[in-house]
Structure formats: structure tokens, C-alpha cells
Amino acid sequence: MSRKKFIAGNWKMNTTVEEAVALAKGVVEAVGGVSDVDVAVCPPYTNLSAVSQAIKGSNVKLGAQDVHWEAKGAFTGKVSCDMLKSVGVTYVIIGHSEQRQYFGETNGTVNKKTKAVLAAGLLPIVCVGETLDERNGGKMDAVIDGQTRGAFEGISASDAAKCTIAYEPVWAIGTGVTATPEQANEAHVFIRNILVSLYGKDTADKMRIQYGGSMKPDNAKGLLALSDIDGGLIGGAALKPADFAGIVQPK
């Protein structure tokens, strides 16, 4: 089964509007014509509109870093799927470990967000991954199993097929420590097998599983060469066009 690779830049809480436009233009210049890899950038909410304009006409797609599951109303500080659609968003990151760690995200809210995003015709990037304590305590499989099954509860196979999963071991995010390609691929195969048990092999084979956690131009090739690593969710290295391009097209 060959899955088209998918590289998404998660800009996190970085960039003013001006910086975001400059970065987006740099990304378009470097990889805007690439068609054999799907590419997306996920700026902060405040910069979605401007980046949407800056990437227009290129192959680079727009993603958001979070969403609220409700359609509208008294939810101060939150943004809905329709609002994201109205500025040209295609992908939505859901359940990032920083959301889980600092902002009370649970497997239950990840599930609600995933359903809302799919219902709106947007494409979820669902993040899962264990902390160092969980890995060292032998709980890694149980944590990833719970996060994956929790995210997809009540979601049909045809909707699941539209989703990307990002496996991001928390201990590798922003730390400079990358999972070895073997460690990462093992986790990806484990996740794929959960998807097989939920949806059958055909659907599971269609779903892309990105790796995230200190992915850079110099380790991207090794990671992306493995059977079940279908792309990357890139933090730090997504903030420099040359680094991001070196992951989209690793040498």
C-alpha cells in the first residue's frame, strides 16, 4: 500500500501577522510546487487569513492548530469549524500533547473535535503519543491504545479514512531527542494494528500516520523511509523555510 506522504508544519504560538506572511511566502517559494507530497502549514488563528492569501495558488494547504466542537455561541476564546472553513482551512490538528498537557484536552474532547471537524468537511490530524514516564513505566501501549480508540469512538470507517494520525512521543517534542526510526516505526505499526482492529485492513491502510518530535532535515529521510511512517508533523523546523523544505524533500 503506498500512501502519499504528508508533511505539516505546526507553527505553535509563533509569528506575528508579518512574520507569518514572510514564512508562508518562504515555504511557497521552497515547496509550493511540490505535488508528490502533501504539504500544509498551521499558523496561529490570528494569522490564518493572511497565510491563506499568501499560499493561494500554490500546493501548500492551510491547517489550524485546534478547534472547538460547538458550532457557535457563548464559548469565549474559542473558534468553530465554520470559522476555520471561512478563512480557507483544510486541516485541523486535534489533541496535540501541549493541548492535553496544559489545556485540559482529554480523549473525550479529542473525539468531539474529530467528529465536528469531519462533519464540517475538514480533515483532522489527530495527535497521540506517550510521555517519558508512561514509556518508562511500561504504559506506552495502553496510553496509545486509549488515545487512538478514544479519538475514533463512534466514527465510521469512511470518515476515519479521511483522518491523519500524528504519533508524537511527548519526550521527543521540542527536546532535540528524536525517536529512533525503529522506535517510531514500531509505534506506527502498533497504531496501524489498532486501526485494523477498528476498521479493517483496507481502511487502516489508507490512513496516514505522521511522526512528530524533533524531526529535522537530517533525520527526516531515515524516518520517512520506514513502512508505516507516512509523513511528519513538524514544530521547530517548520519555522524556517529551508529546514521545512529539507523535510518535505529530504536529501
How far apart are alpha carbons 94 and 11 in whole angstroms? 14
- Applying CB under 6 A, does 214 fall inside the site for ligand PGA? yes
For the question of residue 188 being annotated catalytic, the response is no
**Count of H helices and E strands in the chain?**
12, 8
- Applying CB under 6 A, does 239 fall inside the site for ligand PGA? no
Closest CB to ligand PGA belongs to which residue? 235
- Least separation in angstroms between residue 156's CB and ligand PGA is 27
For the question of residue 96 being annotated catalytic, the response is yes
- Applying CB under 6 A, does 30 fall inside the site for ligand PGA? no
Please report where in the chains the cell 523555510 appears, as a residue.
241
How far apart are alpha carbons 251 and 200 in whole angstroms? 35
At residue 27, what is the residue type? V
Give the one residue of 129, 235, 241, 246 binding ligand PGA; rule: CB under 6 A. Answer: 235
Stretch near ligand PGA under the rule CB under 6 A, chosen from 45-53, 76-84, 168-176, 217-225: 168-176
Annotated active-site residue in 68, 96, 98, 134: 96
Stretch near ligand PGA under the rule CB under 6 A, chosen from 14-22, 84-92, 217-225, 229-237: 229-237
Q: Which residues bind ligand PGA (CB under 6 A)?
A: 10, 168, 173-174, 212-215, 233-237
